[in-house]
Amino acid sequence: MKKLLLIPLLLSIFSVAQATETIQISFADLQGQVEPYKDPFKDLTGDQLYNLSIYARISEMQKVVPERITEEMIDEAKKAKAQLVAEKVDIEYLFEQRLIIMEKRKAAAMQTNGLLADKNIEMGGYMLALNFDDGKVSEFLLVPTIGACSHKPVPAPNQLVFVKLDKAVKAGSAYMPIKATGKLRITAQSKELYLVDGQKKIEMSYRLDNATIEPYIATR
C-alpha cells in the first residue's frame, strides 16, 4: 500500500523537476516551424536583384507619379529590363510572386516555437538597452547580433526577446554580450526604441520573466 502511495508522489516530484529545469537554447530555437516554400528570389544574383528593383521602382512610378519620370530614368529601366531578359529572368513571374513571398516571409518571421512556452531557459545574446541611465539598465531587448535594431536592420519578431528586470543593473555598455536566464513567455508586443536620429517601433514575440543576467564569456 505504501508503495502505491509513493507512485503519485514520485510522479509529482518528477513533474515539478521537469517544470523547473533550465534548458539552454539559441535564437534558432525561437523560430517556429513553417511550411516550406520556394523563394525564386534566392536564385537571383546581386546584379539581377538590383536590376529587378530598378525596373520595378521606375515602372511603379510611371503608373503613380508619371510627372516625376525623366528620360534618364526611362533609359535606366530599359537597360535593366534588357539585361534581365538577356539572362532569361522571368520578370512577370517574379512580379506576380513578390507579394506572395512577402506574405510568406512575414508569416515565417512571426511564427514562434510553442514548445518553449513558459519554459525556464538560458540563452546568450546581446543587450540592446531600452533605457540606459547612469550606467544602469532595467529594460532591454535580447538580440542575436550586436547593433541589431539600432545600427543594423531590425530582426524578425521571433528573434527578439523583451526583458524587464526587477532591479536595474550596471552594464558596461548599452550593447554588451550577456547570458540571460528566466521563464520564456510567448507574447506579442511592441516597444519604442529611441535613437539619435529618431525612434523606431520594434515588434517582438517573446518576453523573459524573472530574468537574471550575467556577462557572456565565450568558452573554447
**Model-level pTM?**
0.63
**pLDDT at residue 20, as a whole number:** 66
Please give the residue that has the higher pLDDT: either 91 or 105: 91
Q: What is the mean pLDDT of residues 197-203?
A: 76
Helices first, then strands: H and E counts in the chain: 4, 6
Res 175 pLDDT > 70? yes
Point out the least confidently predicted range of 74-78, 149-153, 185-189.
149-153
Res 220 pLDDT > 70? no
* Residue 138: pLDDT band with limits 50, 70, 90: confident
* Alpha helix ranges (H) inside the chain: 2-20, 46-64, 71-86, 91-110
Q: Give the C-alpha separation, 152 to 187, whole Å.
A: 24
Q: Measure the CA angle with vertex 68, ends 63 and 71; round to 5°.
A: 95
Percent with pLDDT over 90 in the chain: 48
**pLDDT at residue 13, as a whole number:** 42
Percent with pLDDT over 70 in the chain: 84
Residue 33 cell numbers, joined: 516551424
Q: What is the mean pLDDT of residues 7-19?
A: 46
**pLDDT at residue 202, as a whole number:** 87
C-beta pairs of 91-95 under 8 Å, 24+ apart in sequence: 91/52, 91/55, 93/40, 94/40, 94/41, 94/52, 95/56
Q: What is the mean pLDDT of the chain?
A: 83
Among 150, 98, 106, which Cα is nearest to 129's?
Answer: 150
Residue 123: partners with Cβ closer than 8 Å, 6 or more residues away: 24, 25, 26, 27, 142, 161, 179, 180
Res 167 pLDDT > 90? no
